[in-house]
Amino acid sequence: MLVARAQLDFIRDLVARFEQDDSMMRPVADYQSQYVAIIALLRSVGHVFDKVDCDDVERRAWGRSRWSAWKQDPIFGTFIEPTRNALLKEFQGGLQLHSAAFGPTAVVADPSLPGGFSHVAAFDAREARDLTGKPVLPQLHAAIAFWDRCLNEAEAKFGESSAR
């Protein structure tokens, strides 16, 4: 099984947890950090594929030839790459806090934190929007489907099993 496939399966699990609506109030930073982790991992699937799975000359040549086509896919160019860059290279982005995704917030004393308190809220991922106002979940699902197609292609070429 490709290492990038194992990573994509992990991302699927993270997105499933992100989507869970348990109506519990949790620290807002937890939801934001889940989103950042998912975005970072979505972009790194290509890096893992290139650096780990393309470990011989033939695979590396094939992977590099396919990469030029893969990165032309709209979900890569309009979501995966720019969202990762905004979040990790510019510290911009994240989830809109003043949206229907977050219920009323509360302040909870937490002496373990630097400020001594935490903002908590219930969260509904179905209503989550990024800072441009776009719904988050359809983009996450499209990104997973994109990488799934790419890895299926690689697995067929390399004779690898997807072993899900």
Per-residue b/e over 76-87, b at no fewer than 16 CB within 10 Å? beebbeebbebb
In a domain, 164, yes or no: no
What's the mean pLDDT when you consider all of the chain?
92
How far apart (Å, rounded) are the C-alpha atoms in residues 159 and 83? 32
In a domain, 163, yes or no: no
In a domain, 121, yes or no: yes
In a domain, 33, yes or no: yes
Within 8 A by CB and 6+ apart from 35, the residues are 18, 94, 95, 128, 136
What's the pLDDT at 83?
Answer: 93
- Which range marks the domain in which residue 74 is found? 3-158
Number of folded domains in the chain? Answer: 1
pTM for this predicted structure: 0.91
Cβ atoms of residues 19 and 137 within 8 Å = yes
Is the predicted pLDDT of residue 164 greater than 70, yes or no? no
In a domain, 70, yes or no: yes
Per residue in 56-114, pLDDT (tens digit) is 999 999 999 999 999 999 999 999 999 999 999 998 878 887 788 988 889 999 899 88
